[in-house]
Amino acid sequence: MNVRSEDLTARARIRDAAVARFGRDGFRAPVRAIAEDAGVSAGLVIHHFGSKDALRAECDHHVLTVVREQKSRAIAYASPAETIGMLSTVQEYAPLFAYIVRSLLDGGALAGHFVDGLVDDAADYLQAGEEAGTVRPSADPAGRARQVVALQVGLIVMAQLGAAAGHGVAPTESPAEAMVQLYERSMLAGLELYTHGLFTDTSYLDAYLEYRQKDGKS
Amino acid sequence: MNVRSEDLTARARIRDAAVARFGRDGFRAPVRAIAEDAGVSAGLVIHHFGSKDALRAECDHHVLTVVREQKSRAIAYASPAETIGMLSTVQEYAPLFAYIVRSLLDGGALAGHFVDGLVDDAADYLQAGEEAGTVRPSADPAGRARQVVALQVGLIVMAQLGAAAGHGVAPTESPAEAMVQLYERSMLAGLELYTHGLFTDTSYLDAYLEYRQKDGKS
DNA sequence: GCCACGGCTGAACACACGTTTAGCGTAGTG
DNA sequence: CACTACGCTAAACGTGTGTTCAGCCGTGGC
């Protein structure tokens, strides 16, 4: 996404246009629109990729590749402050993110892999945090990783539909902008939650443990 | 949804069929399929509602009404144990829930209202919890409410795409079942998070507060 | 008994979209 | 220069879908 369009082969140009279009308009976006964005005819899109579905598969693959690259690069940032700082780079990969969000909402195959990856990553980070003493140990590490990712996913979805940030969010702003805004507006509360929890005592947790003991799942 | 189909007028039957279909197959479901489910012709659907979009609007309205009814009834349950118990009733309203999830993923108008409602409710509950002494006070109550709802929404979306529960979830099961399963598998970790938090100290929170003070938002 | 009327149907229409196909232009090759 | 191969286009085709339309059928009123 950081290469000028003129430098790319038609095939790559179509792929990038498709990622952008799909991210912005969803997967119902017509092939003709993608073709126009890439400056080619609709027939050529099919000629190169065989079908729209195959084009999408290629987009999935490409996005996943880029994400993996960026992820391995992001491992470097580890300290709290730098982790926070990464937030500002979100905007740079807005098209990629938009595509992933669409895939998430569409329930596509990419979404599964992506979320699975997030869960695995979260589990690793939390494990590392535990060993470093910054993260509390958990009775259910996998479940906790899912919780953390779910919070992330939920924020993304809520940002996507714009209205979720509560009241007074302009509906005209871009999805990427909405996400950053929601992140900012929720960051404090999120860290608060992660730092102190929500409840003052253990009665809810105890109640659940007791309920679970009574009948081993329903 | 708890009235036998034969007792309803064709209009109501179409509406219910539409809610179920939309919930199961998404809003791309053909009018003809809905008509068949309701045992009527496609033309009649249009005859009654004017257009597919209008039908969807009617579904939105209907679902929102039912949700509001159930919500006001649910207010009665307040204690931790009973709150837990409510989980088992989720399956009963699976079609409604499926519809809401679709609306959520589609970014429809209903989703906004629904999530806004959830956020408002969460804020109220948390406020009440604070006053009752069971919930910690927060520096950003509205943000915290969003966090709680985001977690909820994220779990729903992850359940929707099935794969998100990590590995080893059969992809053939129904969405409603997947949701219940994911809920069960994440409940312990969720309560743990809400009870004890995630971090052992306040360094992350402190880092953010410091970052925020340096430049008043970007 | 008859008529009008509203719910209802099946066929037809209009349109958007993915895909196919015939052919054009140009670069590389002998 | 002739020829082939390939990237590419424009128009056409088939299909799925929302919507319209002409008419049927049972019911209630006169």
pLDDT range class, residue B166, cuts 50, 70, 90: very low
Q: How many Cβ atoms are within 10 Å of B77's Cβ, its own excluded?
A: 14
Q: Is residue B69 part of a domain?
A: no
Give, in Å, how far the C1' of D23 lies from the CA of B45. 18
Q: Is residue B3 part of a domain?
A: no
If you average pLDDT over residues A13-18, what whole number do you get? 95
Q: Is residue B88 part of a domain?
A: yes
One-letter-per-residue 3-state SS of B152-187: HHHHHHHHHCCHHHCCCCCCCCCHHHHHHHHHHHHH
For A63-74, write each residue's pLDDT tens digit: 988 888 877 766
pLDDT range class, residue A12, cuts 50, 70, 90: very high
One-letter-per-residue 3-state SS of A99-116: HHHHHHHHCCHHHHHHHH
pLDDT at B57: 95
Residue B170: phi, psi to the nearest 5? Answer: -60, 130
Q: Protein footprint on strand C: which nucleotides are under 7 Å from a CB?
A: 7-12, 16-22
Selected residue with higher pLDDT from A24 and B77? A24
Selected residue with higher pLDDT from B74 and A161? A161
**B84 pLDDT exceeds 80?**
no
Instruction: Report how many Cβ contacts below 8 Å link chain A to chain B.
Output: 274
pLDDT at B108: 78
**A7 pLDDT exceeds 70?**
no
Q: How many domains does chain B have?
A: 1
Q: Is residue B8 part of a domain?
A: no
Q: Is residue A89 part of a domain?
A: yes
Q: For residue A189, what is the domain's CATH number?
A: 1.10.357.10
For A173-185, write each residue's pLDDT tens digit: 566 677 777 777 8
∠ CA(B84), CA(A210), CA(B194), 5° rounding? 55
pLDDT at B83: 58
If you average pLDDT over residues B151-167, what whole number do you get? 71
Q: Is residue A210 part of a domain?
A: yes
Q: Is residue B99 part of a domain?
A: yes
Residues (6-35, chain A) with CB within 7 Å of strand C atoms: 29-32
Is the distance between the Cβ of A53 and the closest atom of strand C smaller than 7 Å? yes
Q: What percent of chain B has pLDDT over 90?
A: 40
Domain that holds residue A203: 80-216
For B16-36, write each residue's pLDDT tens digit: 999 999 999 999 999 999 999
pLDDT range class, residue B87, cuts 50, 70, 90: low
If you average pLDDT over residues A121-127, what whole number do you get? 89
Q: Is residue A26 part of a domain?
A: no
Of B104, B88, B80, B114, residue with least CA distance to B159:
B104
